[in-house]
Amino acid sequence: MDLLYKSTRNENETVTASQAILKGLADNGGLFVPSFIPKLEVSVEELSKMTYREVAYNVMKQYLTDFTEEELKNCINNAYDSKFDTEEIAPMVKAEGEYYLELFHGATIAFKDMALSILPHLMTTAAKKNNVKNDIVILTATSGDTGKAALAGFADVKGTKIVVFYPKGGVSPIQEKQMITQKGDNTFVVGIKGNFDQAQSGVKAIFGNKVLAEEMDNAGYQFSSANSINIGRLVPQIVYYVYAYAKLYANGEISQDEKINVVVPTGNFGNILAAYYAKNMGLPIDKLICASNDNKVLYDFFTTGTYDKNRQFVLTMSPSMDILISSNLERLIYRIAGENAAKNKDLMEKLVSEGKYDITEEMKQGLKDFYGNFGTEDETAEIIKNIYKETGYIIDTHTAVAAVVYDKYKKETKDTTKSVIASTASPFKFTRSVMTSIDEKYNDMEDFELVDELSRIGNVKVPRAIEEIRNAEPRHNTICEVDEMEKVVKDFLGIK
């Protein structure tokens, strides 16, 4: 049975999977969601004997039903190859009794690689399927990781261009250097004088500009997105939760059908939403533990039922989570509103006009699978230090937020269910914050001295992604005001 996609703001707008991937955002500003969540067709026993690529095919074929077996396998094989520095693609490390699912072994050492390695292949395949003649312009806002992973994925891909906006001063030095040194004639990186939410809102405004869309079409271009609003990002993320469960079973860590908890450091809500979809496919997940940093908009939402972005924006040592508008939450809101597009649209419009919305008591019942909490900067630094001292294992700042929240969850609930913590980035990506958390004596070291010291004390090889930028020269130096974003895009594309 073909699985179609509908908009969260108009259930009458339905498209195929390939069309949803190409469009990125629905015409009315809504997000595409599957018309139903399919059930896993293969048993955990069968999955436990599969490679990552095989699990990916068995999960993704149920969502991308207009892709042929050959097309989908070709996308998967091109994505999950030697770009990853481990054969397993997403290995699991046990430390202090918890299971850390390492999602950072791809080309840019962050979990975004898990989806952005395959998105360019899905998109170019989708373009051929739909006889698209225009070049596709990927337009993306990043809080640090999506940008580089998207750039790496789309660099020099024929028939595409990519424009990435990031908050100048709002990402780590390593994250910024990764982006501004990106090669590829079709790549363009812009720092904005603002925060991530402003970058994301600016990108959404460009997507919604019908006059610009016409100008683009006349010039032979059309926009699409590499942000997690694109279902071509979301579907591949479901895979690694299925894979993680199958590996725990294969290694004898859990018995058949034993439930696990999943802990996810959360900003834009895509990563934990993928776990929610996996649970709804029948994967034995109990609690979805949503970890926030000091920008605790999601913690407050899960606690009160009120989503309120009217607060101070805090720059933290976990910058990929410095977000006040969690775009993917809309997909969950739509679901707990009984898939009522009008109700969802009303709430999203309130978020724009008033900066907040309240869900009903009935909708709150749909959140029972979730637990939310947050980790402060001091708590995050402390847990990095403690885990290193006790186990020798070094985690990054985002994974540390998840570890803090998981500790709070265990103390609060006394729940002893085995849990998988999504380890979303390599510690090498946030070297200064990680190393000074371990010991303040590292404060005086240069960035790449810290890289080498982290490698030494953690007994881990410096990733290829870091070595590549060690002496790389910046290629992208454009900085703009928020209200100049559209002009900058048009200039890059040569549209007058």
CB-CB neighbours of 38 under 10 Å: 17
Q: Is 287 a catalytic site residue?
A: no
| Interatomic CA distance for residues 191 and 167, integer angstroms | 6
> Taken in order 331, 332, 338, 340, is the CA torsion positive or negative?
negative
- CA nearest to 494, candidates 224, 215, 223, 226: 215
- CA nearest to 77, candidates 106, 103, 49, 56: 56
Calculate ∠ Cα 12-20-161, nearest 5°.
Answer: 140
| Interatomic CA distance for residues 252 and 254, integer angstroms | 6
Edge-to-edge, what's the strand order for the sheet holding 221-224? 221-224, 135-141, 160-167, 187-192, 478-480
CA distances from 434 to 300, 394, 399, 427, 437 (A): 27, 8, 11, 7, 5
**DSSP per residue, 254-309:** S-TT--EEEEEE-SSSHHHHHHHHHHHTT--EEEEEEEE-SS-HHHHHHHHSEEE-
Q: E strands, 346-435, where?
A: 356-358, 370-374, 419-423
| Interatomic CA distance for residues 454 and 328, integer angstroms | 34
Q: Position 379: which residue type? A: E
**DSSP per residue, 234-255:** HHHHHHHHHHHHHHHHHTTSS-
User: Which of these is catalytic: 6, 23, 61, 112?
Assistant: 112
Cβ density class 153-188: b for 16+ within 10 Å, e for less? bbbebeebbbbbbbbbebbbebbbbbbbbbebebbb
Q: Position 377: which residue type? A: E
| Interatomic CA distance for residues 276 and 283, integer angstroms | 9
| Interatomic CA distance for residues 226 and 217, integer angstroms | 19
**DSSP per residue, 170-218:** SS-HHHHHHHHT---TTEEEEEESS-HHHHHHHHHHHHT-HHHHHHHHH
**DSSP per residue, 120-186:** HHHHHHHHHHTT--SEEEEEEE-SSHHHHHHHHHHTT-TTEEEEEEEETTSS-HHHHHHHHT---TT
Active site residues: 112
